[in-house]
Amino acid sequence: MSTVKSEHGLIRAVGTFGLAAGVVNVTVGGGIFRLPSEVARDLGPAAPVAFIVCAVVMAMIGLSIVQAGSRVSTTGGPYTYVEIAFGPFAGFMAGVMTWVIGVTAIAAIGDVFIANLAGFIPALATPVGRTTGLFAVFAFLTIVNVLGVQYGARLNAVTTVLKLLPLLVLVLLGVFAIDSANLAVTTMPAASTVTRTSMVLLFAFTGVEFALVPGGEIKDPSRTVPRGILLGLGGVTVLYLAIQLVAQGILGPALAGSATPLADAAGAAVGPWGRSLLLIGVIVSTFGYLSGMSLASPRTLYALARDGYLPRAMAAVHPRFHTPWVSVIVQIAICFGLAVWSDFGPLALISNVAALLVYFGCAAGAWELKRRGVQDEGTTPYAMPGGAIIPVLSCIAILGLLTSITASEWLVLLEVAAGATVIFFATRSHRASIRTTG
């Protein structure tokens, strides 16, 4: 049986609720406010089928990550799991892809946040106003996450409650405005249509991996990790299904053509105040996503620097606040630059493909860690019936989804991988010296 070394300087302050809130926060983003119309356009009243298919696939991936996370609680998440399972090069590639997901997603959602906030503050719609607004929100997130992981976790918990409130109001009040005829399924869609739609929805469920990146700051990981992940993922699935059913039941065929489906459903159900509440919910939700990702994603940079792939200064832990403060500042500064100079589409594209590759590495890594009996010293890994087969099924499902990726999308990831390969070999002697002196 192998053991994983502990870390010094970081405080284990994230408990079950904090981890579950992190899962919800980095999963329920701006997408859920738009996806119902896209799903309805492809599947109509049969849309819940795609949600269930997607939830099953994501549950397998989540359970694979749970197994890996309960065995390896070192900061770095997928990067650490894959490295311990398959070696430094594979781990480094997983770390790079995890970082790519984080930096592109934060920048993309930052753009969405400012665009929606501009509806209430018109000055933000100008180029100068947009840049100023982005700087303000990213500066705030930097300060919160430098001051301490407990503040970042608390911000996650608060924004999780705030972002869920308008969605829960829609579900609770909208259920009384449902027309059952709008939910009648007359014909089942083709399996290929369900598969394509499920792939789109899969990205509405992504985020579990980032909630585990600050593994070195999670309390009692062998218990907290499975409980927090399953609690968060289960809650997200139930919420998504309820939202889709309510929106479809209220708007019927009009749902497919709606640009703001949940706001339109709320307006039809309870009036203008409901629509305004949902529009505010978009802003709160995207900010909550930013706060969750700003807590988790910089820890990947910290882990890469800690292991010698990046300058050692980026692995510095603040002596007072006990946070990887340099990595936090660098990460959010890069996100700010991308948000200013790019837009949502290209950023989301890169993030989506990288996510599938990271999930494959996590699932394969979970199987290998279990096979070798790797676990943290003094902890008991999470065990579940059929645990050995779940990572295998996850890998098969992910490979199926990857067959839909286009050549141009693969090219972007190949370019990233080529650059990462150069860094890996260029830092080989430096990493060797760290192992010798460390």
Whole-angstrom distance, CA of residue 14 vs CA of residue 84: 23
pLDDT in tens, the chain (438 residues): 444 444 445 555 567 777 777 777 667 766 677 778 888 988 989 988 888 888 788 778 877 877 777 777 665 567 778 888 999 899 889 888 888 888 888 888 888 888 878 878 889 989 999 999 999 999 988 888 787 666 666 666 676 677 778 888 899 999 999 999 999 888 888 887 887 787 777 767 776 665 555 555 566 666 676 677 778 888 888 899 999 999 999 999 999 888 778 888 999 988 888 888 887 887 887 887 787 778 777 877 887 888 888 888 888 888 887 788 888 899 889 999 988 887 766 777 677 778 888 889 988 988 898 888 887 666 667 666 667 788 999 999 888 877 777 787 788 888 889 999 999 999 888 777 766 655
Please say whether the dihedral angle defined by the alpha carbons of residues 25, 31, 33 and 35, taken in this order, is positive or negative: negative
Say how many residues make up the chain: 438
For residue 4, give the DSSP letter: E
In sequence order, the 6+-apart residues with CB closer than 8 A to the CB of 261 are 33, 34, 36, 37, 40, 247, 251, 255
Q: Which of 87, 81, 217 is nearest to 156 (CA)?
A: 217
Q: What is the DSSP string of 65-132?
A: HHHHHHH--STTTHHHHHHHHH-HHHHHHHHHHHHHHHHHHHHHHHHHHHHHHTTT-GGGGSHHHHHH
For 13-432, which CATH class?
A: mainly alpha
Whole-angstrom distance, CA of residue 305 vs CA of residue 307: 5
Whole-angstrom distance, CA of residue 109 vs CA of residue 291: 11
- Check residue 174 and give its pLDDT: 92
Q: Which of 405, 47, 71, 26 is nearest to 215 (CA)?
A: 71
pLDDT digits (tens, 9 = 90+) for 237-275: 889 999 999 999 999 999 988 877 888 899 998 888 888
Alpha helices in 148-251 (DSSP H): 149-174, 191-205, 208-211, 221-251
- Check residue 129 and give its pLDDT: 93
Contact 298, 320 (CB under 8 A): no
